[in-house]
């Protein structure tokens, strides 16, 4: 199994470290020719969604990736990745629009609103969650399975082969959400 990690901006190295710990192969996606490789799963890291969205388009990768996601390529988006996958983003542009959710960006305000908590994640148990200028899922529409709540908001969800978290499993030591994604691919 080989995972492609979007490496245009943000915390992509942290995702690579998680996959190293899970002894899973990966490669970085920085430009169109990187997409020629065989890819069993795709990770969109935390960072700035505006930066990644713009670069995906200008580097001619956006449509290829959108088509593959819509055809069922397993994808895992954290924070900015969640925003890129959402069908609706309040007061902000949308990108892949493949996941049936409405998202509020910068939902907790500026950095002083960033917080850490530990909450239950369906099928995994209690996990650490770092929210950094994070979004939340304001509404999950049809076909979306809610996986975690924090502070009364939906913060993790799944729809078919798509997994999203509003927090950053890549910055803490716990590998279980990444394992969950790899299990999604193998099944």
Active site amino acids: 79, 168, 170
Q: Residues 128-147 vs another protein: string with x where CB under 8 A?
A: --x-xx--------------
Judged by beta carbon, residue 41 or residue 169, the one nearer another protein is 169
Would you give the distance in Å from CA 111 to the centre of its chain?
Answer: 20
Taking the C-alpha atoms of residue 125 and residue 95, their distance in angstroms, rounded to an integer, is 31
**Is residue 105 within the footprint of another protein (CB under 8 A)?**
yes
String marking each residue 16-35 x if it binds another protein according to CB under 8 A: --------------xx----
Which runs of E-coded beta strand occur in 48-140? 75-78, 86-89, 99-104, 115-121, 125-131, 136-140
Residue 153's Cβ-count burial label (10 Å; 0-12, 13-18, 19+) is middle
* Complex with another protein: residue 132 or 144, whichever CB lies closer: 132
Task: Tell me how far, at minimum, the Cβ of 158 lies from another protein, in Å.
Answer: 23
15 is a site residue for another protein (CB under 8 A): no
- Contacting another protein (CB under 8 A), which of 171, 178, 180, 182? 171
DSSP 157-181: EEETTEEEESS-GGGSS--HHHHHH
Residue 95 near residue 49, CB atoms below 8 Å: yes
Q: List the one residue from 3, 4, 5, 8 that touches another protein (CB under 8 A).
A: 8
Is 116 near another protein (CB under 8 A)?
Answer: yes
Q: Which is nearer to another protein, 168 or 178 (CB)?
A: 168
Measure the CA–CA gap between 184 and 170, rounded to whole angstroms: 17
Q: Applying CB under 8 A, which of residues 63, 114, 123, 151 lies at the interface with another protein?
A: 114
Q: Which residues, including other chains, have CB under 8 Å from residue 47's CB and lie 6 or more apart?
A: 8, 9, 10, 11, 12, 79, 80
Instruction: Provide, rounded to whole angstroms, the least separation between the CB of residue 126 and another protein.
Output: 16
Q: Which residues contact 7 (CB under 8 A, 6 or more apart)?
A: 28, 29, 30, 45
Residues that bind another protein (CB under 8 A): 7-14, 30-31, 46-48, 50-51, 54-55, 58-59, 79-80, 92, 105-106, 109-112, 114-116, 130, 132-133, 168, 171
């Amino acid at each position: 199994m080989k995972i492609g990690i979007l490496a245009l901006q943000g915390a992509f190295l942290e995702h690579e470290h998680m996959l190293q710990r899970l002894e899973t192969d990966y490669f970085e996606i920085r430009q169109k020719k990187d997409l020629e490789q065989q890819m069993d799963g795709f990770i969109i890291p935390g960072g700035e969604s505006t930066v990644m969205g713009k670069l995906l388009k200008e580097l001619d990768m956006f449509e290829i990736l959108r088509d593959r996601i819509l055809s069922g390529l397993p994808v895992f988006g954290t924070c900015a990745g969640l925003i890129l996958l959402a069908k609706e983003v309040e007061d902000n542009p949308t990108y892949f629009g493949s996941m049936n959710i409405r998202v509020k960006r910068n939902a907790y305000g500026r950095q002083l609103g960033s917080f850490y908590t530990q909450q239950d994640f369906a099928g995994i148990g209690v996990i650490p969650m770092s929210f950094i200028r994070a979004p939340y899922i304001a509404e999950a529409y049809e076909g979306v399975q809610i996986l975690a709540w924090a502070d009364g908001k939906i913060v993790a969800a799944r729809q078919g082969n798509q997994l999203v978290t509003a927090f950053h499993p890549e910055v803490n030591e716990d590998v279980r959400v990444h394992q969950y994604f790899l299990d999604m691919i193998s099944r």
